[in-house]
Each structure stands twice: as C-alpha cells, then as structure tokens.
Structure 1
C-alpha cells in the first residue's frame, strides 16, 4: 500500500506544471512515504487484536510478537514531517496540510470509525489513499486545480472495487473477526448475507 501511495505521489509531482528542485522533490516523496508509514503503523497498532486472528495479517510485527504494542504509536506520531520542513517555505502550505489530512482521515475516519462498523468503510475511507497525487501536485505548484482533483477521483473510485475483489479472498478472515467488508455482509452476489449484518448496518444506509 505504501508503494502505491509513493508512486501516485510521484505521478502528481511529474505531471504538475512547473519545476521543483531535485532535493525538494526527493524530500516531498520522502515526506509522503513517512506519512504513509506512520498511518500504517498506527493502523496496525489499533488493529492488533483482529490482526492476530487473521491469516493475512498474523505475521505483522505486533501480532507476531516482534514488537511490543506500546512503542509503535509514539514512534508513528513522530514520523510525519512537520510543516516547517521541506514545504514550509510555501506561503499556501497545501502539501503539509494535505498530508496531515490524509493521515488523520486514514487513522480516525477509516481505521477507528468506519472499518469495524459499516460495509461502506472502504468507500469513504479510501479517500485517504487518493490524496498523494494532490500532495505531489501542490508541492510543485503551490495550489490545487481541476487536474489533481481528477487524479484524486481516479484513485478514489478505483479503490473500493479493487479492495472488494481482494476481500473476496480474505472473506473468512473478515468474517471471523467481525469486520463488515462488503463480501461478508452482502455475499458474493451482492445481496445481504444475513439478517444480523443487515440490522447492524442499517444506520449507515
């Protein structure tokens, strides 16, 4: 996931009109990577209880016992670059603000609020992964226009079907831990899989 975030961030840097010094471009990509890594670390810290019970995540550092649950959280909070770093000289300050928004959206909206509550979790939460090309664009131009919004929309609309296809293979995992991914709540054919799931998700429709 981090590789996708970094790649789309680089795309935003490359297609944006204007020029960014190589050192600043490298710093921008590094900041995006650090932000994605921080968000992922907090996600794994928060989801360590269900990660330990899912085959596809059981080998992650915390469930596997390679890292204690305590350290990753403060380390992750320190990872995102401060606004005064590579982009702080820009008066608009879009890139650090967007990076903070992306991290916050992934951690608080997707991981902590939506993931375990609604089958629409990835529909809404997927917006977090669509920010990197906008961040890259803003790092070069200092503004946000229609073009980066289109790049955002491409990733935003691609994410749910992509993740639902993957979750078909992890169906048993998600069902075991009670995460309401769409294939669990509505089955492979798209109909509600059980009355209990329908009742649980009714407040989100």
Structure 2
C-alpha cells in the first residue's frame, strides 16, 4: 500500500460535494431572520462542513469495492490502495462525533440533532440501504443533501419554520433530475458496479421522462417562497428565470434519443446547469434577505 498523506484524507471528504453543502448551509444561516456572532456562525458552518466530510468518508469506506468497479471513482484513495478501510472508518466516525458535539456546544441542540440525522441518513438509509437496492435511491436519498440549509437556519434561530422547510424541499426535488441527468451518460459505470440506477433498471427513455416529470414539482417549490410572502421580487424573478432555463433543458433531455454518452449533449448541459441553478437560486435567497433589509 502506498503511504497516505493529508490529501488522501481530504479526498475522503468529497470536497466538491462539500462545497455545495457548505454554500447552501451558509445561505440558510444568512437567510434566517436573526444573526449569530461571527465566530459562532463560522463554527456552525465548520461543523456542517465536517459533518458532510464525515458522511463522504463513511460512504467511501462502505463503497470501496463498488468504487473500484467504476471508472470515475476507481482513483479514489480506498480503491486505489492509498488508504485502508479501517483508517477511513475511524476518520469518518471521528469527524462525525466532533461535528455534532461542537455544533451542540456552539449553537443549539436542535441544529446538532439535525446534523446527526443528516449524517446517519446519508450513510445508513441512502448508502447502505437504498442505493444498492432500488432505482428510487436518489428520490428518497435526496433528503440527505437537503439538510444543510435547514441546519444553517436552525443554528441561528433554534427552530424550523416554513422557509427552511421550503429550502429543504427545493434541494430534495432538485436531486433526482440532477443525478438522473448524470446517470444517463455514466450508466455503464453504474451497471458495471451493480448499482440499480434508473437508466440501468428502466432504460434511457423512462429516465429522460422522469427527469422532466420531477422538474415540475421542483419548479413549483422553487417559486413558492415569493407568492407565499417569504421572499421578495429579487428572489422571485431570479427563481422564475432559472426555472425557465431548467425546464427548457429538461424538455430537451426528454426529447433526446441518443444512446451513446458522446451524443448526450442535452443531458450534460442539464447536469452542468443544475449545479449553477442551485448556487444562483440560494444566492438569490440571501440577496433578497439582505438587500431588502
């Protein structure tokens, strides 16, 4: 086994995924009606980042064999032999405990409880139970990535109201079309690893139809804060614009008949835009809150 260094442990935390988690958590924290002292706000975001990293590490610990069968994950530290599974397990459990305890001490027990629940949901419900067993893994498992804005809000206020629930719902409904767009052009990887993603189980046509169908409730949830009086026109018009583009791309995906990844330009466009969509949508939540103060 090659000697491990800090970069291998950092890679276990899935830093690219963590960046989106941290951003949406920060937006939830900044959108709350009150504020935290800067040191406590930084600590809350740090705890969420550590919790997300812990979940990523435990996911890779459990899926090391699966990752070795997939081209896009074969060079991760565990399948590539740069780390052993016991190290990954201890690292993940240690980060989990540190993030939850520190969150409870720095903010409140509700935020710490939701953080703990998000880690357990991702590792046990999604990774161990849903992902290897059902094509609906992303539909239900999407809740795992939807917790951060809820945690950020709860860290500030100590409660959960309609607005953070809507932020949770947006990410929950965004996850299926986002991941199904990806799975369409990497379906061979999932098939080789024995993961029952929707394109593997139901085929390309059905998956493309599901992408479009799931886009409609996502759009409704994303626009809802404005007519409900929870956000103003800055958020409202930004949301409408972003959702029109998302819907247009989803329609293109639904109409595409390509079978080879090289010809799946609409799917790649939707996947790429879906990340920008979430960044700009949540940035608009914060802008609307602070500009209209």
The question of 1:178 aligning with 2:178 is answered no
The question of 1:121 aligning with 2:155 is answered no
Supply the distance in 1 between the matched residues of 2:99 and 2:64 (Cα, whole angstroms): 27
Matches within 5 A, 1:31-46: 31-46=47-62
Supply the distance in 1 between the matched residues of 2:199 and 2:30 (Cα, whole angstroms): 37
Contact 1:51 1:57 in 2 (8 A): yes
Matches within 5 A, 1:29-178: 29-80=45-96, 81=98, 83-88=100-105, 93-178=109-194
Question: TM-score of the superposition, structure 2-length normalised?
Answer: 0.63
Supply the distance in 2 between the matched residues of 1:89 and 1:76 (Cα, whole angstroms): 21
The question of 1:190 aligning with 2:183 is answered no
Gaps of 5+ in 2: 1-16, 208-293
Gaps of 5+ in 1: 192-205
Which 4+ residue blocks in structure 1 deviate beyond 2 angstroms?
Answer: 80-90
Supply the distance in 2 between the matched residues of 1:177 and 1:11 (Cα, whole angstroms): 35
Supply the distance in 2 between the matched residues of 1:82 and 1:32 (Cα, whole angstroms): 7
| Deviation of the 1:88 alpha carbon | 2.5
Supply the distance in 1 between the matched residues of 2:144 and 2:90 (Cα, whole angstroms): 21
Supply the distance in 2 between the matched residues of 1:3 and 1:131 (Cα, whole angstroms): 14
The question of 1:25 aligning with 2:41 is answered yes
Contact 1:24 1:86 in 2 (8 A): no
| Deviation of the 1:87 alpha carbon | 3.7
Contact 1:83 1:93 in 2 (8 A): no
| Deviation of the 1:68 alpha carbon | 1.3
Contact 1:5 1:129 in 2 (8 A): yes
Question: More helix by proportion, 1 or 2?
Answer: 2
| Deviation of the 1:30 alpha carbon | 0.5
CA offsets, 1:141-172, max 9 Å, x none?
A: 11100010000000000001100000112100
Question: TM-score of the superposition, structure 1-length normalised?
Answer: 0.89
**In the alignment, which residue of structure 1 is the partner of 2:233?**
none
Contact 2:28 2:148 in 1 (8 A): yes
CA offsets, 1:22-53, max 9 Å, x none?
A: 00111011100000000000000100011001
Cα 1:84/1:180, change in 2 over 3 Å: closer
For the pair shown, which has the larger CA radius of gyration, 1 or 2?
2
